[in-house]
């Protein structure tokens, strides 16, 4: 489970380690949040070299994992758990050290709460979207869409689809059959030019509904056909997306309006308009 946490508006990339039951955080993001350095990669590289020379075991035990970089690509980056970060913070002079320690404790506690009660995770997700200015109605559809997406990816995993690249191709098949566009083409259509932009966070109600229909249909077809491996699941993805595509086309003919919209929610984080897409 990967995620992005916010500490004083700074993005901290993180991954939940199910085996160890703790978060792993991107060290360079923590350095950026604590130091406001213009080049946190260089800051961390110099600090890491010094600590290694001193025989610091915390640095020695830091592992590198692939995480999504600002350019959207998967790149190796050093990660550390809460205990390791608390030790590293001692080597970073920063007035934000104490607030960051409290933030770490809060993040860890909240995750353990969510494991005990999964409804808390959904509730916190709703709070985050609401703070950004999304309507309650939109949030409910978005949360439901996340659940449907998770069900689909879990099904793919059980059926032998393992690599992230295969997940991306299957997702593109569904999107192409549903909307006539791959996710990349859809982002360009909506003028979403940043790698970090999440396409689904910029969809209106109907776009979310047809996305859910395409993915739910794919799950159902894969189960009923007992699709195994990448090839069979790609066929299921194409057919599932086609179900949603036909429904979309039928609605467009009867309503006289295209479902795919160029509108997006880019203004919401800045609270410029706070408008609701219709």
- Please check whether residues 134 and 69 belong to one and the same domain: no
In a domain, 276, yes or no: no
In a domain, 29, yes or no: yes
Which has more confidence, 214 or 62?
214
Per the structure block, which two tokens stand in for 228?
Answer: 């195994």
- Please check whether residues 99 and 151 belong to one and the same domain: no
Q: How far is CA 33 from CA 4, 13, 42, 62, 82, in A?
A: 13, 11, 14, 19, 15
Q: Residue 12: what pLDDT?
A: 86
- Please check whether residues 199 and 69 belong to one and the same domain: no
pLDDT in tens, 76-130: 899 988 888 888 888 898 998 888 888 877 776 565 555 445 555 667 677 778 8
| Selection from 13-22, 163-172, 208-217 with the highest mean pLDDT | 208-217
Specify the DSSP class assigned to residue 32.
H
Q: Which of 116, 143, 160 is a domain's end point?
A: 116
Is the separation of the CB atoms in 172 and 183 below 8 Å?
yes
- Please check whether residues 110 and 156 belong to one and the same domain: no
- Please check whether residues 162 and 246 belong to one and the same domain: yes
- State the total domains in the chain: 2
- Please check whether residues 134 and 230 belong to one and the same domain: yes
Buried-state track 143-161, b at ≥16 Cβ within 10 A, e below 16: eebeebbeebeebbeebeb
**pLDDT exceeds cutoff 50 at 276:** no
Residue 262 and residue 192: Cα distance in Å, rounded? 10
pTM metric for this prediction: 0.62
What does pLDDT average to over the chain?
Answer: 84
- Please check whether residues 178 and 260 belong to one and the same domain: yes
Q: Residue 18: what pLDDT?
A: 67
- What value does the mean pLDDT take over residues 236-256? 97
- Please check whether residues 130 and 38 belong to one and the same domain: no
- Please check whether residues 61 and 8 belong to one and the same domain: yes
- Please check whether residues 97 and 158 belong to one and the same domain: no
- Please check whether residues 165 and 125 belong to one and the same domain: yes
Q: Nearest CA to 198 among 126, 142, 278, 133? A: 142
- Please check whether residues 98 and 217 belong to one and the same domain: no
Range of the structural domain that residue 230 is part of: 120-270
User: Which helix or strand (DSSP H or E) is residue 248 part of?
Assistant: helix 229-255
Q: Residue 36: what pLDDT?
A: 79
In a domain, 278, yes or no: no
């Amino acid at each position: 489970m990967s995620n992005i946490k916010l500490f004083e508006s700074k993005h901290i990339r993180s991954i939940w380690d199910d085996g160890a039951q703790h978060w792993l955080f991107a060290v360079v993001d923590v350095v950026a949040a604590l130091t406001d350095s213009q080049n946190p990669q260089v800051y961390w590289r110099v600090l890491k070299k010094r600590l290694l020379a001193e025989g610091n075991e915390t640095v020695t035990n830091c592992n590198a994992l692939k995480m999504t970089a600002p350019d959207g690509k998967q790149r190796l980056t050093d990660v550390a758990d809460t205990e390791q970060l608390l030790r590293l913070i001692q080597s970073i002079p920063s007035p934000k050290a104490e607030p960051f320690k409290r933030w770490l404790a809060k993040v860890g506690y909240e995750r353990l709460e969510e494991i005990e009660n999964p409804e808390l995770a959904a509730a916190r997700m709703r709070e985050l979207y609401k703070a950004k200015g999304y309507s309650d109605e939109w949030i409910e559809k978005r949360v439901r869409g996340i659940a449907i997406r998770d069900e689909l990816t879990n099904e793919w995993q059980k059926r032998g689809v393992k690599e992230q690249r295969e997940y991306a191709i299957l997702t593109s098949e569904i999107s192409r059959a549903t909307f006539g566009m791959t996710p990349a083409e859809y982002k360009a259509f909506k003028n979403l030019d940043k790698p970090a932009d999440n396409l689904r966070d910029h969809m209106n109600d109907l776009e979310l509904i047809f996305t859910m229909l395409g993915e739910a249909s794919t799950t159902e077809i894969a189960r009923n056909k007992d699709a195994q491996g990448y090839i069979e699941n790609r066929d299921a993805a194409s057919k599932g997306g086609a179900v949603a595509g036909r429904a979309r086309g039928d609605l467009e003919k009867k309503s006289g309006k295209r479902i795919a919209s160029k509108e997006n929610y880019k203004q919401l984080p800045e609270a410029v308009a706070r408008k609701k897409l219709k």
